[in-house]
Structure 1
Amino acid sequence: MGYAVVLGEALIDLLEEDRDGELIYRQAIGGAPLNVAVGVARLGGAVQYAGSLGTDVLGDRIAAFLAEAGVGERGVRRAAVPTTLAVTTFEGAEPAFTFYGEPPSYALLGPADLDRDILAGGEVLYTGSICLLREPFRAAARQAWSGFSGLRVFDPNVRPRLLPDAAAVTALRELVEEFFATADLVKLSLADAQLLYAESDPAAAADRIRSLGAAAVVVTCGARGAHVAAADGAVSLPAPSVRAIDATGAGDSVMGALVSRLLAEGRPAGLDDWQRHVRFALAVAGLVCERQGGATAMPTPAEVTARWGEI
């Protein structure tokens, strides 16, 4: 089995929490791409993370966490800036994010920082998320994506609070559609589809993205499950029933699970393969939702089997 390259942000989440009647913020290592990388590693896949980390104590903690999780760090650049903080508030189990730190420590990887050997040897490349909103990371992602010969997977991971007006939404739509056009897999949430396309029907959103060139599209719909569209058909799959306490990182765990399956089995032959992979990914996400979220909630294969049996 080969390895995946995960290209994107790592930061510190400050998670709002009520403790004995007092509102506090619990520190957690996060960032959607970091969560994906850790999810792949926890599920037994080999993965290299490529991104920028601050040189402060929080950046050191992220680097140590990646190493402990078994994520390769050859693609990491350290930058002499404070680590970005994502203050995370909740409506029920669903998180909302506000970001602090300028320049953002997570977006300072440029084209010259890319490790060409890592990219040349990878079987799957993931990118996406908020790092694409900033240079020089955007240029690095475009360069890595255009030259990659393996499977390319993308998640827009839209954060509305970083999009101040309609012009910003339009610019993001045009940007992500560059990646959609040549993606082997696009994974996005229904909330992403609603913001990008004012589209509340996951099937219509998937069809639109496939028409741009994406080979397969998975639209996650929270507790409703996911819609999967491939060249030979489409289907909606239910999510397992869980007692969710924190959905932070659930979508990232779906992508981590899908990447792990792509590493293990290669390019899917069609919708039947995608269905198997997405059922597994929804089970992984269900388990993540039953834990305090983020990278530390990503499960191992043994934990998935213990909770759901063989999938």
Structure 2
Amino acid sequence: MTPKLTVFGEVLWDVLPDARLAGGAPMNVAVHLQRYGMDVSFISRVGRDELGAELLAFMAEQGLSTRWVQTGETHLTGIAKANVSDSTEVTYKILHPVAWDYIRFDHAAAQCVAASDFFVYGTLASRDRTSRDTLLRYLASTRVPHGCVPIFDVNLRPPHYTREQVTELLAFARIVKMNEHELREVSGWLAPFENERQAMAVLVDRFGLDMLVLTCGAEGAMVLTAGGEYHRHSGFTVDVSDTIGSGDAFLGAFLYRFATGHPLPASLEFACAAGASVASKKGALPAFTETDIHALIHMRQQVVAH
């Protein structure tokens, strides 16, 4: 049976100097999972405006159901202005407040979350009370005997978070994905550490995580489990166009492989290749296939062999 995943959070337009692209980390992850043929539900909110209609149309074109994407009357669809002057470290100015700050709780959506195998959420969509309270109620619904796994994609966007907020969301998680900058900040709130692996262990132990996945940009990624299983992949060398959405591509690919029973090292390699593939192209959701990913893996293996 195909695993079921529900993703909660923002959907918006990334405004670049020369383009406007559909985005939002949760939506990107959901689209990647959909492209891999997973059973995906996406919970969000857009405004009843032209930009909202265009986002709904985009998601439908990607095959992603908009059943749980609400349409609000009082707030505009989200926009984030992307600064790509440094192609390896994109920064954002995110409009506030917008429609996805007002995601309302829905009992039927809560049943969808509870019936899922995995529930993916992040930090940004909980910056205001309405969406935060809704997210916390959905997270509470994961605590049922069947065992929906909450997955926290930390994805810190200053100034839209607080230490207390991130800590509260970590307390619900069983799997966490973050980048090396986020690891240093969050683990630094709790205890001193000498290296990344030690910092990962601090968070796994403090929050009772099953697993922490760490992305390290061009340096690849690591994973550490509660049982002490540790793997590192050194990544793939590509010509970077921009890094918009590369972490989302990584997470979607990792969850796809992990949820379908692949070992952690293989899941990590596949995810690193997916992230590199997106970084080599413009925007968060460029066209690429599993064949492209496997070709990149095969090419790297040949280089390593020689």
Relative to the length of structure 1, the TM-score reads: 0.85
Asked if the contact 1:3/1:123 (under 8 Å) is kept, the reply is yes
Q: Does 1:188 align with 2:178?
A: yes
CA deviation vs aligned residue, 1:69-104 (integer Å, no higher than 9, x gap): 11122211111221121000021332100012x422
Corresponding residue for residue 23 of structure 2:
30
Cα 1:114–1:33 shift into 2, 3 Å: farther
Which residue in the other structure is 1:255 paired with? 251
> Residue in 2 aligned with 1:144?
138
Could you list the per-position Cα deviations for residues 255-281 of structure 1 after superposition, in whole angstroms to 9, with x for gaps in the alignment?
A: 11122124322xx8xxxx222211110
Task: State the number of aligned residues.
Answer: 287
Residue 13 (structure 1) shift:
0.4
Shift of the 227–305 alpha-carbon distance from structure 1 to 2, 3 Å rule, reads: closer
Q: 1:83 aligns with which of 74, 77, 88?
A: 77
Q: Which residue of 2 aligns with 1:19?
A: none
What is residue 103 of structure 1 aligned with on the other side? 97
- Which amino acid in the other structure matches residue 38 of structure 1? V
- Per the TM alignment, residue 309 of structure 1 is displaced from its structure 2 partner at its CA by 4.2
Counterpart CA distance in 1 for 2:52 and 2:107 is: 18
Please list every run of 5 or more consecutive structure 2 residues that lacks an aligned counterpart in the other structure.
302-306
Alignment partner, residue 304 of structure 2: none
Deviations 1:9-39 (A, max 9, x none): 00010013xxxxxxxx410000010010011
**How far apart are the structure 2 equivalents of 1:278 and 1:247?**
18
2:50 maps to a residue whose letter is V
The CA deviation at 1:307 is: 3.7
> Which amino acid in 2 is paired with 1:205?
A
Go from structure 1 to structure 2 and tell me whether the alpha carbon gap of 1:59 and 1:145 turns closer, same or farther (over 3 Å shift).
same
Number of the residue aligned with 1:8: 9
Runs of 4 or more consecutive aligned structure 1 residues displaced over 6 Å after TM superposition: none
CA separation in 2, counterparts of 1:161 and 1:176?
A: 13
Letter in 2 for 1:281: A
The answer to whether structure 1 residue 239 and structure 2 residue 235 are counterparts is: yes
CA contact (8 A) 1:37 1:49 kept: yes
Stretch deviating more after TM superposition (25-34 or 231-240): 231-240
* Distance (Å, rounded) in 2 between the aligned partners of 1:187 and 1:289: 18
Give the match for residue 304 of structure 1: 293
| Equivalences for residues 45-124 of structure 1 within 5 A | 45-80=38-73, 81-90=75-84, 91-100=86-95, 102-112=96-106, 115-124=109-118
In structure 2, the residue corresponding to 1:28 is in which secondary structure? strand
State the superposition RMSD in angstroms. 2.1
CA deviation after TM superposition for structure 1 residue 124, in Å: 1.1
Q: Which amino acid aligns with 2:260?
A: A
Contact 1:182–1:213 (CA<8 Å) still a contact in 2? no
